[in-house]
Amino acid sequence: MIDKIIDRTESISLVGLGYVGMPIAVAFAKKANVIGFDLNKAKIETYLNGIDPTKEVGDDVIKNTTVQFTSDETKLRDAKFHIVAVPTPLTESKTPDLSPLIGASEIVGRNLTKGSYVVFESTVYPGVTEEICVPILEDLSGLKCGVDFKVGYSPERINPGDKVHTLENIVKVVSGCDEESLDTIAKVYELVVDAGVHRAQSIKVAEAAKVIENSQRDINIAFMNELSKIFNKLDINTNDVLEAAGTKWNFLKFTPGLVGGHCIGIDPYYLTHKAAQVGYHSEIILSGRKINDQMGEYVADNIIKTMVKNHIDMKHPRVAIMGLTFKENTPDVRNTRIIDIVEALNEYGVEVVVCDAEADASEVKHEYGIDLVKFEEIKNVDVVVAAVAHNEYLDVSKETLDKMFRSELKILFDIKSIYSKYANDFVYWSL
């Protein structure tokens, strides 16, 4: 299989061309024939027009890649090595929503041919690949796993917006249903992953490794958020404390913040869901989740308290929020927790205006019903909330911030502490 992929007599397919799947497809296309499939025809048209809406690789790369972009699932029959990279979100009750993964498995199953390999990259709890995906593949293909086709799991580790920790530079965890599939899957990924691969002992081990990576980060951020709440009551600057503590060699340098996106704010619920199925109720993981899920409302409450304390006219209060994406320097607004601040302020009757240097205005309108304004159009507000540390916002001057306010009393909420140098020039608050 690896020889046929290298000499381009067999093809690789990518099922799901979002922030994860598309960069993988582009990377493999440098070494092999790649079929890039996505159900979203509009997305496929965007790629065919040479546009990268994710901004992960850029328009020039999309224009010049050899990936065969398609929304025709029958084209998958031309590939023998399939990589599935679809979202694994949550339901409203915060339980795993496997419908995108099940749908992708059905598509691959309908077009699976004998001798193929199927590798899942979507974040799941241990057991999903073998207990849910494999039966679907077998049922719809009429083939037998381990005999007619092989499966594996290799968790995605791409960090949206990060131009340093890319697919090529991050060690890839790989696993297979047997020794042969493990070896083949490892060698295929070694074509594009310069950092090398780690061969996990089993598919379940690889699934568990992925889900705990983000759970660990979530817990550490929750600890920082709890410290921020404590220090806020003690009138101590959290960043000053962290800077002092960070001088010790083994201090973990996490910072407080809103935890959103498609990984850290979601993956812990996958692990705790599986834990509950086997009779264990998580304590630390769910406690961390509770803290992080409440941070948007916590920020909004402090905005209201600060306005009241400073005698802002609460009949028609106006707040501007700079940034809506779930993290800096990406247009990705999926599961952004900035929306929690907006919704909480709206409940208080506050008029909220939002700008974002990276987000797509039409997507924001569709997802959240918010009409983005341009940064330079913000004026006559009582509070400015610097919510996302996009590069475009880092060098904003004090004078520019001053012009946004409608009175001499200027309240600046700096969630990411990017304007700490202006702390003495405003009624200043930060996490």
**pLDDT above 80: residue 165:** no
Residues 6, 66, single domain; the answer is yes
Residues belonging to the active site: 263
pLDDT band for position 341 (cuts 50, 70, 90):
very high
Last residue of a domain, one of 291, 309, 336: 291
Last residue of a domain, one of 184, 200, 216: 200
Residues 119, 232, single domain; the answer is no
Residues 207, 238, single domain; the answer is yes
**pLDDT above 80: residue 162:** no
Residues 222, 244, single domain; the answer is yes
Domain ranges, residue 39: 2-200
Last residue of a domain, one of 247, 263, 291: 291
SS (H, E, C) the chain: CHHHHHCCCCEEEEECCCCCHHHHHHHHHCCCCEEEECCCHHHHHHHHCCCCCCCCCCHHHHHHCCCEEECCHHHHHHEEEEEECCCCCECCCCCECCHHHHHHHHHHHHCCCCCEEEEECCCCCCCHHHHHHHHHHHHHHCCCECCCEEEEECCCCCCCCCCCCCHHHCCEEEEECCHHHHHHHHHHHCCCCCCCEEECCCHHHHHHHHHHHHHHHHHHHHHHHHHHHHHHHCCCCHHHHHHHHCCCCCCCCCCCCCCCCCCCCCHHHHHHHHHHHCCCCCCHHHHHHHHHHCHHHHHHHHHHHHHHHCCCCCCCCEEEEECCCCCCCCCCCCCCCHHHHHHHHHHCCCEEEEECCCCCHHHHHHHHCCCCCCHHHCCCECEEEECCCCHHHHCCCHHHHHCCECCCCCEEEECCCCCHHHHHHCEEEEC
Residues 287, 419, single domain; the answer is no
Residues 126, 45, single domain; the answer is yes
Residues 229, 134, single domain; the answer is no
CATH classification of the domain holding 169: 3.40.50.720
pLDDT tens by residue, 221-269: 999 999 999 999 999 999 999 999 999 999 999 999 999 888 888 999 9
Residues 32, 55, single domain; the answer is yes
Residues 151, 249, single domain; the answer is no
Residues 37, 179, single domain; the answer is yes
pLDDT tens by residue, 89-106: 999 999 999 999 999 999
* Domain count of the fold of the chain: 3
pLDDT tens by residue, 372-402: 999 999 999 999 999 999 999 999 999 999 9
Nearest to residue 181, comparing CAs of 313, 248, 261, 81? 81
**pLDDT above 80: residue 164:** no
How high is the mean pLDDT of the chain?
95
- Residue 55: what pLDDT? 87
- Tell me the two tokens of residue 298: 């916590």
CATH classification of the domain holding 213: 1.10.1040.10
Residues 195, 225, single domain; the answer is no
